[in-house]
Amino acid sequence: MARGYERFGTAVVVQASVAIAAAAFSGGTQTEFDKTASGNADGAFSAEIEIDVTAWTADARCEVYQEAKQHDGAGYAFPKLVGSVAVTQVDKYTVIVDGLSEKGLITLKAITTGFTASASFRSIYPADA
């Protein structure tokens, strides 16, 4: 699908602000994304993940992972890397994620240096013809 012919859903916070240590995954309060008909990402093909870095001390990389809901609903599958971005200052960064599972979590990982960040999720849909 070509970018530019899209519409976007409302932003949903999927990772509350949390300090993430170097080489560690984010924890704390996370909200599951849900692509089912009544979910917060109703039918999305892709997502725009916005990472809001509010505390930073040195250049780092933020990796974005998807943890798909297990088919039996008992938990989440092993995290799958779906994107990354260089963190060079306190700012907001975006990552476009394609191939989302039906339900799951978005988890952040700090690489080399820790930082404090939150993340929000906006569904991307094909534009109406």
CA distance 54 to 2: 32
pTM for this entry: 0.90
The confidence score (pLDDT) of residue 84 equals 96
What does the mean pLDDT of the chain come to?
A: 92
| CA-closest candidate to residue 20, choices 50, 63, 49 | 63
CB 82 within 8 A of CB 65: yes
The confidence score (pLDDT) of residue 7 equals 86
CA distance 111 to 77: 21
Residue with tokens 């609903």: 73
Position with higher pLDDT, 7 vs 88? 88
The residues that bridge with 22 in the sheet, in sequence order, are 110
pLDDT category at 4 given cuts 50, 70, 90 is low
pLDDT category at 1 given cuts 50, 70, 90 is very low
The residues that bridge with 97 in the sheet, in sequence order, are 47
Out of 1.10.10, 2.60.120, 1.10.287, 3.40.50, the CATH code matching 6-126 is: 2.60.120
pLDDT by residue (tens digit) across 35-88? Answer: 998 899 988 889 999 999 999 999 999 999 999 999 998 999 999 999 999 999
CB 26 within 8 A of CB 107: yes
The first and second tokens of residue 110, run together, are: 């700090």
